[in-house]
Amino acid sequence: MWTVFISSTSRDMHEYRRAALEACHAVGFTPVTMEYFEAMGNGVTHSARQKIDKADLFVGFWGHRYGFIDDGSDHSIAEFEYRYAGERGLDRLCFLMDMHQPWRPALIDFEFYPQLAAFKRRLAPEDFCDIFGSVDNFRIKLLQALVAWREQHPIVKPSADSQVKHVALTVQHDEVTFDIDRFTSVLATLLAIEHNTIELVDVGDGGHITIALPNEASERLLAMDESYPDLLAQYHITSIQPVIEQQVFHWHLDDGLPYIYLSYDDEDTSLMRRVRKALRASGLKVWTEDDVPESGVSWKSAAEHVINSAAGVVALFSSAAQNSQWMRSELQYAVSRGHFIIPVLLEDEPDDTTTIPDYLGQTQWADLRGDFDSGVQDLIETIYAHLADSQPLRLKALQPSTTEAGVMAMQLGNYEQAIAYYEQAIIISRGLNDRRGEEAALANLGMAHAALSQPNTAMPYLQEALALAHRLGDLYGEIIILNNMNDLFVQLGQYDSAVEDRFRVLTLARKIGDRLSMANALRALGDLYRSMGRPKQSVNYYRQAREVYATLDLPHHVESVDALINTVGEGVSDSLRDEG
């Protein structure tokens, strides 16, 4: 599957970005994006470089905003992305908004419009694809461009001696109506490969299917399982595992990401699956003997290989597990390798730690005998804390993928899934002691709850993010978070809090010399006092906002505020006449 880097400004192009993601998925491309909160801290250009380095194609589309400018740079992030993609030799498909497309003045970057115009003039003629108008119009034109590009870059059929890899899938389906040929055809489209390059190896019970794919295609599928499980869920694929083969014994374990091995007794399989599901939902990779298909390799060798490469071992202890020779063998091997081991006491155990074998020594343990969810959360935090201490670089590799998955879920309207990803990002950021990452994750989590019309749930996350931004001295971050909180205060009818919020933004904007944010805060105060039925104060703040907009040479903003002054001012005059 081809990987596409999506570039645009964010605040004004939200619906268009969603359309771009949908278009990419529709034709079997994997989209990669950068988002605003990801660009708040230092090193945003470095993050963009890393993503573009892994891309096969660049897609850029711009309207009336130039975008965020990183410290020390003369260009916006959007222009940097375009330039760097060119340096990397990527094909660039670029789209510009039709100047006649109706657009809200608030989404026009008047301050940096000259830079935006100069950037558009610098677009190479061979990169320009088309002018777009509405979201639907853009989606169609992008789809056409992607299909045309894919036709010019066909997937080469593997030769007869090309290496293949067996992959085990679990597919939710109705066994009576399931059409395996149609499924493999859809899978071929998803992976952008020829249908006849997929070989059906086995169809088992419970939706278990084993297929053989060209090696590169199997790696793409496994990568999709890591980064875009929601996309695979649309194809009813619930799990993907590589099949261990003796000649490729390193398969999936050397991808640089940490994973946990889960040791258990067969009688505890049901509880194991609950624990495994919770750990995976937190972003951890988890392997068990249940996940490893049989192969030509001895079972003991396969298990030892998996344990040897694991970042740690979680051992589920019950009365049955105490007598399990297999578990004893696994854990003693883990001890011999110096592995971090967390014993977990299951529901049937008495309230003590005597069931933990002596050979594990005095070790930290987790308890699932009471509140399962609370116990699992403690287990997850313990694992992440261990990874942060022992393998910080490998844990850090998980951070961008969780943020990106949350952003993608938000853009696709999957807000509950976004919440799960952002909760995971908070755990990772705290494990890494990355306070800026934690600030962004908290703010994003708050906005995901806000998108679900849950202002009372969203507000505490935004308040925690705000407090963290204040401690970090992130004044711009404070302004952004306060702007989001203001919308929630209005939804809750807490206008006094909203007014206090706007005055705080005004103070911050003055402190950093951000006159546009000052003007916007003054205008917002006018809006609030108007909603509160206090027209005199409303007009006063509208006039102050107008003065600042005028000094910034923003005529559209001035005209907009003049209209508000006239409308509200008429109400003030009527009120004065009534009093007279």
183-209: per-residue pLDDT in tens? 777 777 777 777 667 776 666 556 667
Q: Name the more confident of 569 and 543.
A: 543
Three-state SS across 503-546? Answer: HHHHHHHHHHCCHHHHHHHHHHHHHHHHHCCCHHHHHHHHHHHH
Q: Let me know whether 89 and 134 are in one domain.
A: yes
Q: Chain-wide mean pLDDT for the chain?
A: 77
Does residue 540 form part of some domain?
Answer: yes
Instruction: Give percent above pLDDT 70 in the chain.
Output: 73
Contacts with 300 (C-beta within 8 Å, 6 or more apart), sequence order: 329
Q: Name the more confident of 9 and 554.
A: 9
Residue 313: pLDDT above 70?
Answer: yes
Whole-angstrom distance, CA of residue 226 vs CA of residue 212? 19
Which residues does residue 68 pair with via DSSP β-bridges, in sequence order? none
Whole-angstrom distance, CA of residue 379 vs CA of residue 74? 46
Residue 180: pLDDT above 80?
Answer: no
Outline where 203-359 has alpha helix (H): 215-227, 229-233, 269-281, 299-309, 319-322, 325-336
Identity (one letter) of the amino acid at 514?
D
pLDDT at residue 37 in the model: 37
Which tokens is 123 given?
Answer: 């677009």
Answer yes or no: pTM beyond 0.75.
no
CATH (domain of 124): 3.40.50.10140
Does residue 252 form part of some domain?
Answer: no
DSSP state of 69: B
Q: Name the more confident of 357 and 149.
A: 149
Residue that the structure tokens 């609030």 belong to: 528
pLDDT at residue 401 in the model: 57
Domain boundary among 243, 268, 301: 243
Comparing 20-24, 123-127, 333-337, 395-399, the range with the smallest average pLDDT is 395-399
Residue 477: pLDDT above 70?
Answer: yes
Pairing between strand 208-214 and 164-171?
antiparallel
Residue that the structure tokens 């959360």 belong to: 377
Does residue 415 form part of some domain?
Answer: no
The whole-number average pLDDT for the span 540-553 is 90
Q: Let me know whether 288 and 356 are in one domain.
A: yes
CATH (domain of 208): 3.30.70.250
Provide the domain limits for residue 58: 3-152
Whole-angstrom distance, CA of residue 3 vs CA of residue 131? 23
Whole-angstrom distance, CA of residue 379 vs CA of residue 464? 24
pLDDT at residue 321 in the model: 80
pLDDT at residue 449 in the model: 92
Q: Are 482 and 505 in contact (CB under 8 A)?
A: yes
Domains in the chain: how many in total? Answer: 4
Contacts with 115 (C-beta within 8 Å, 6 or more apart), sequence order: 66, 76
Does residue 410 form part of some domain?
Answer: no
Q: Let me know whether 238 and 282 are in one domain.
A: no
Closest by alpha carbon to 258, among 77, 94, 385, 89? 385
The whole-number average pLDDT for the span 448-474 is 91
Comparing 200-209, 241-250, 344-353, 412-421, the range with the smallest average pLDDT is 241-250
The whole-number average pLDDT for the span 449-466 is 92
Does residue 254 form part of some domain?
Answer: no
pLDDT at residue 110 in the model: 83
Contacts with 54 (C-beta within 8 Å, 6 or more apart), sequence order: 3, 32
Residue that the structure tokens 């940490």 belong to: 258
pLDDT band of residue 580 (cuts 50, 70, 90) is: very low
Tell me the per-residue pLDDT of 362-403, one tens digit each, with 9 for 90 and over. 567 788 887 888 888 888 888 877 776 665 545 555 555 566
Residue 135: pLDDT above 80?
Answer: yes
Q: Let me know whether 569 and 487 are in one domain.
A: yes
